[in-house]
Amino acid sequence: MTDDKDIDGLAGEYVLGTLDAGERASVAARRLREPALNATILDWERRFGPLVETATPVTPPTNLFSKIEARIEGADVAPAGSATIIDLRRRVKVWRATALATSALAASLVVAVGVHEFQPKPKQQNLVAVLQKDAASPAFLVTVNVDDRTMTVRPVAAKHEAGKSYELWIVQDSLGAPKSLGVIDEPHAMTRPTLAAYKRDVIESATFAVSLEPEGGSPTGAPTGPVVFAGKLIAQTF
């Protein structure tokens, strides 16, 4: 019997589009006869569905197909609290190694692979981060316009807890203690100009973390509850 973790990983690769053509065809056939695999694929698609809303329609260049043909022909001849704050800072070192990679995978869902490969790179103005406790549990999507310092927060799968509030923090070495960006209990996407006080390099290198606080937010101006989600910004090129 296939292990549940193997099924989850295979389903994730299928949804993210990282399988080759043969592997993808095999998974597509298997999901027709394996209800567990099909259910897991649908669950992955549900998790990352809200990310599609951030994509702007792009018309592929007229010479895209000829470039694809040229690359194929080339391939034929080519070779092969204080305690809470201390704990938060400690976790940031781990997040910097893992959250960037998982955020990049999530963000890639909304990029058309062919267009992204051959389209001239636009000027990067937006940054995006998936705030999560692990790669399979996205909770909030944060999009930042670094030109006007506005920030949009979209709930993905975070569940409200009675008597509690989620509070967003920006964490960066030059800031000292984590700085609050406000409570994010609203059920719909919201945009705030809360990053106006921060320099671009600080925003780009910061970790964004969410703690679970008493209703209405932290009473001390610093995280008092557990840090439940975190992520780092990456460039949004679509």
β-pairing verdict for 164-171 and 234-236: unpaired
Every domain range in the chain assigned CATH 2.60.40? 83-236
Percent residues over pLDDT 70 in the chain: 68
Residue 61, pLDDT > 70, answer: yes
pLDDT tens for 154-165 read 888 888 888 999
pLDDT computed for residue 171 by the predictor? 93
| Confidence band, pLDDT 50/70/90 cuts, at residue 7 | confident
pLDDT tens for 133-181 read 876 678 888 999 888 888 989 888 888 888 999 999 999 999 999 999 9
Residue 221, pLDDT > 50, answer: yes
Percent residues over pLDDT 90 in the chain: 19
| Confidence band, pLDDT 50/70/90 cuts, at residue 90 | low
pLDDT computed for residue 77 by the predictor? 47
Q: Which CATH architecture has domain 83-236?
A: Sandwich (2.60)
- Average pLDDT over every residue of 19-30: 84
pLDDT computed for residue 1 by the predictor? 46
- Average pLDDT over every residue of 91-96: 52
